[in-house]
A = this chain, B = another copy of it.
């Protein structure tokens, strides 16, 4: 797990973090948090995994929470970017929903270790950081809801409960991070394809009625 997570969709994990020492520390923090949990991990553990001294860590990050916040922020920014690209992209509502689910699932499968930390350690964020992340999650929810609402307006989707279905679609995709196993039988692409089909069924997608 961890540092073995591959580039996917042209995204190299943590490439936005510089300098190299700061990036190595972030990767080490993701691995440590995923293995032992945030509260059982010390900044000394993280520095050790990165082959650095605790003093070297403090040059880049003042606290353990700053590391978690940075990981969570990068993960949530990427999730929002994936969903808004699909929501505001070309094609019918069904095409856009298919693209959103495929790319969101691929990200959660390929980056499952990071995604688990991002999803399961929200309670450990400082209140102001948590509020910032909650706002990014609200925007991700709004992007998916926008696609579903467009499909309903076009007569292509049947969605009796718009907020509930939005929640279920996001939840289904996010939980891929929990069960996905690189040694398992399906690639991230294959899971993406299966899930896009299941989600189009959830909204009863059909071609737009003739005018």
A interface list, Cβ under 8 A from B: 35-40, 119-120, 123, 160-161, 164-165, 167-168, 171-172, 174-176, 178-179, 186, 191, 194-195, 197-198, 201-204
Contacts and interface: CB of A to CB of B under 8 A. Distances in A.
A201 B119 CA distance: 27
B36 A194 contact: no
Contacts of A174: 175, 178
10 contacts: A36-B37, A36-B40, A37-B37, A37-B40, A119-B178, A164-B191, A167-B179, A168-B194, A171-B176, A174-B178
Contacts of A161: 194
Given A171-B175, A172-B172, A178-B175, A198 B165 contact: yes
Contact of A164 (B167, B172, B186): B186
Most buried by B among A35, A37, A39, A195: A37
Contacts of A191: 164
A68 to B, nearest CB: 13
Nearest to A169: B198
A120 B174 CA distance: 14
Contacts of A120: 120, 178
A194 B87 CA distance: 24
A93 to B, nearest CB: 16
Contacts of A119: 178
Nearest to A203: B201
Nearest to A38: B37
- Among all A-B residue pairs, the 7 with the closest Cβ atoms: A37-B37, A39-B40, A40-B40, A175-B175, A36-B39, A171-B175, A164-B194
